[in-house]
Amino acid sequence: MNIYYPPQFWKKKKLLFGITGGISAFKVVGFVSHLVQAGSDIQVIMTKAAQQFIGENTFNALTRKPVYSDLFESGEKILHIHLMREYENLVVAPATANIIGKMAGGIGDDLLSSCFFVDPKKVIFVPAMNVDMWHNPIVQENLKKLVAIGTRVMVPSSGNLACGERGEGRLPEQEVFLETLYYLLCSPQSLQGKKVLITAGPTREYIDPIRYLTNSSSGLMGCSLAAAARARGADVTLIGGPMSVRIPSGIRYIPIVSSQDLKTATLEHYDKTDVCIMSAAVADYRPSNPSAVKIKKQGKTELILNLIQNPDILSELGRRKVSQILVGFCAEDGDLLVEAPRKLQQKNCDVMVANRILPGESGFEVDKNKAWFLNKNGEMIDIPLMDKMELAETIIDHLVAFYFS
């Protein structure tokens, strides 16, 4: 299961986790365990009601630290002030309707609510409750008040709820939780207000209704770019062929199948886009005359396919470019550093990311990639072989440095 954040993001992060009395408190055990293993320093605070749902000892064992719940815990320091100064953020998960109401109403009658008043901008609420509780206007009004003073809120998922009902109010699954937390904590939000269009994955060019020509692109690079752009505050649209990886959360996803679908969808969104990153592995050719019925092998010892060239979408985008930053991807096993600058110029791109295809090491169907970042001013940055999510962040940061700072 792919989760889109760079592996080193959680190393040495100092996070307070405030657990309140919701039925989904048990799920937070998994979140805390994952973050501790990823290298974060997690300190847990529990409300009295939370202890009805999960024991302190579980978090104590996972974090190898005492769990705090008493506001009047005696010690050298005033606990709620000390914790909020010492830790980078306070994640309240699950956040009950009650704690949201207390904090919005200015009540600090226990350790967790008192922490909130020390620095509300550091607080991230992860509400989880029954669908009707979630849609209760008082809860929504309280959240608006909290957002207005700089507190961040992770919108709950929709689905089966512990109470047996269905709807919004569900605590997000672990991969969505971790990814969204990465988006919320990522700083600076250097692409805030920008629209980023990304294409990813392979295309399928049908020979008959069930057979097709394709390639081994998994879509991991494009999905990682989508998450990295989203984490920097961009409004991201991902157009993707049939991919073998999970689609990142928090973005708009448009599934397509063939290169012609990809062209139609890309052109539809291109005019409203600030940055367009074409990382899909688009087929160069398609069968000129696909069969409407399954091709039978009876009586045939040979099958000759006639292929015609697909439209060059990147060149078309280059021709239509007005103010968009157009980023092409080229993957080569041969003369990469001759091909990449040629394509950059010929297709009127602003940037070309050149990928080295080394089977099993870099490029298709592996988690790592070796790339060069070339821009139209002739500058070239040699990026070492790295994890695709790390590479995605590096590419987005170079784009920001060249075009948005």
Q: Return all residues near 155 (Cβ < 8 A) that are at least 6 apart.
A: none
If 0-12 CB within 10 Å is exposed, 13-18 middle and 19+ buried, where does residue 263 land?
A: buried
If one asks whether residue 111 binds ligand FMN (CB under 6 A), the answer comes out as no
If 0-12 CB within 10 Å is exposed, 13-18 middle and 19+ buried, where does residue 289 land?
A: exposed
The contact mask relative to ligand FMN for 221-260 (x = CB under 6 A, - = no) is: ----------------------------------------
Residue 153 main-chain phi, psi, to 5 deg: -130, 130
Residue from 50, 200, 349, 400 binding ligand FMN (CB under 6 A): 50
The structure tokens listed for 336 are: 């990469």
Identity of the residue, 50 or 256, whose beta carbon is nearer to ligand FMN in the bound complex: 50
Residue from 5, 16, 18, 22 binding ligand FMN (CB under 6 A): 22
Q: What angle do CA 26, 27, 28 make, to 5 degrees?
A: 90
If one asks whether residue 114 binds ligand FMN (CB under 6 A), the answer comes out as no
User: Least distance (Å) from ligand FMN to the CB of residue 150?
Assistant: 21
Q: Judge contact between 288 and 306, C-beta under 8 A.
A: yes
User: Least distance (Å) from ligand FMN to the CB of residue 53?
Assistant: 7
Q: Return all residues near 120 (Cβ < 8 A) that are at least 6 apart.
A: 103, 146, 149, 150, 151
Q: What angle do CA 78, 84, 86 make, to 5 degrees?
A: 90
Q: Give the Cα separation of 34 and 186 in Å (integer).
A: 18
Check 163, 186, 276, 330 and give the catalytic one: 163
Q: Give the Cα separation of 113 and 19 in Å (integer).
A: 11
Identity of the residue, 43 or 324, whose beta carbon is nearer to ligand FMN in the bound complex: 43
163 is catalytic: yes
Q: Return all residues near 405 (Cβ < 8 A) that are at least 6 apart.
A: 190
If one asks whether residue 20 binds ligand FMN (CB under 6 A), the answer comes out as yes
Identity of the residue, 128 or 229, whose beta carbon is nearer to ligand FMN in the bound complex: 128
If one asks whether residue 98 binds ligand FMN (CB under 6 A), the answer comes out as yes
Residue from 2, 40, 96, 151 binding ligand FMN (CB under 6 A): 96
User: Least distance (Å) from ligand FMN to the CB of residue 64?
Assistant: 24
Query: Please, where are the H alpha helices in 160-249?
Result: 174-185, 220-231
Q: Give the Cα separation of 248 and 366 in Å (integer).
A: 18
- The distance from CA 78 to its chain's CA centroid, rounded to whole angstroms, is 38
If one asks whether residue 107 binds ligand FMN (CB under 6 A), the answer comes out as no
Identity of the residue, 141 or 333, whose beta carbon is nearer to ligand FMN in the bound complex: 141
Q: With CB under 6 A as the contact rule, which of the stretches 58-66, 78-86, 97-105, 339-347 interacts with ligand FMN?
A: 97-105
Identity of the residue, 97 or 374, whose beta carbon is nearer to ligand FMN in the bound complex: 97
If one asks whether residue 131 binds ligand FMN (CB under 6 A), the answer comes out as no
Q: Judge contact between 89 and 123, C-beta under 8 A.
A: yes
Q: Which of residues 286-315 bind ligand FMN (CB under 6 A)?
A: none
If one asks whether residue 156 binds ligand FMN (CB under 6 A), the answer comes out as no
Task: Provide the 10 A C-beta neighbour count for residue 391.
Answer: 26
Residue from 29, 36, 49, 295 binding ligand FMN (CB under 6 A): 49
User: Least distance (Å) from ligand FMN to the CB of residue 96?
Assistant: 3
Q: Give the Cα separation of 334 and 72 in Å (integer).
A: 68
If one asks whether residue 23 binds ligand FMN (CB under 6 A), the answer comes out as yes
If one asks whether residue 128 binds ligand FMN (CB under 6 A), the answer comes out as yes
Identity of the residue, 51 or 215, whose beta carbon is nearer to ligand FMN in the bound complex: 51
Residues tagged active-site:
163
Q: Which residues contact ligand FMN by CB under 6 A? A: 20-24, 47, 49-50, 96-99, 128-129, 133
